[in-house]
Amino acid sequence: MHVFNICINFTILNNNNMISDKIILADSDSFIELIRAEVERAVEASFTAFESRQDPTPPERFSQRQISQRRKVSEPTLIKWRKEGKLDCDEINGRIYYTDAQVNEAFQRSKRAQWEEKA
């Protein structure tokens, strides 16, 4: 059986766009293991970077009717608040949706405005 020594020089571009050179001198079995480990590390780093960019749980969105029923506020009031800029919304395929956070903020603004009027 012949054992071959392999010498390879390759350049790696890491996550910080820094270039580093590696020189490897190994027998063929060790070389294959080094390549496998390097590929595994690169794939894991790619998945980690991809997952970190994903929003883990997008907010649940509700239609105007759903929010009206959930929060005991009329649909005309929701429309008025939206047009006045008091209530943020998400428009998806031409339909209006609200998140609980958007509605909570609008209620807080409304309460602050009522307190300021009474003062």
pLDDT in tens, 55-80: 666 778 999 999 999 888 899 999 99
DSSP 85: T
pLDDT band at 106 (very low <50, low <70, confident <90, very high): confident
The radius of gyration computed from the CA coordinates of the chain, to the nearest angstrom, equals: 29
Q: Find the range with the poorest average confidence among 14-18, 54-58, 113-117.
A: 14-18
Q: What per-residue string of b and e applies to 24-45 under the rule 16 or more CB within 10 Å gives b?
A: eebeeeebeeeeeeeeeeeeee
| Predicted model pTM | 0.47
Locate tokens 């008091």: which residue?
86
Q: Model confidence over 22-47: pLDDT tens digits? A: 665 666 777 778 778 888 888 888 77
Q: Indicate the pLDDT class of residue 1, thresholds 50, 70 and 90.
A: very low
Among 71, 65, 57, 69, CA closest to 100: 71
pLDDT at position 50: 73
Cα dist. 84→13, 23, 62, 74, 110 in Å? 51, 65, 20, 15, 12
Please write down the long-range contacts of 85-94, taking CB distance under 8 Å and 24 or more positions apart. 86/110, 90/61, 92/61
Place of tokens 């969105």: 61
Instruction: Say whether pLDDT at 92 is over 80.
Output: yes
Over residues 75-100, mean pLDDT: 90
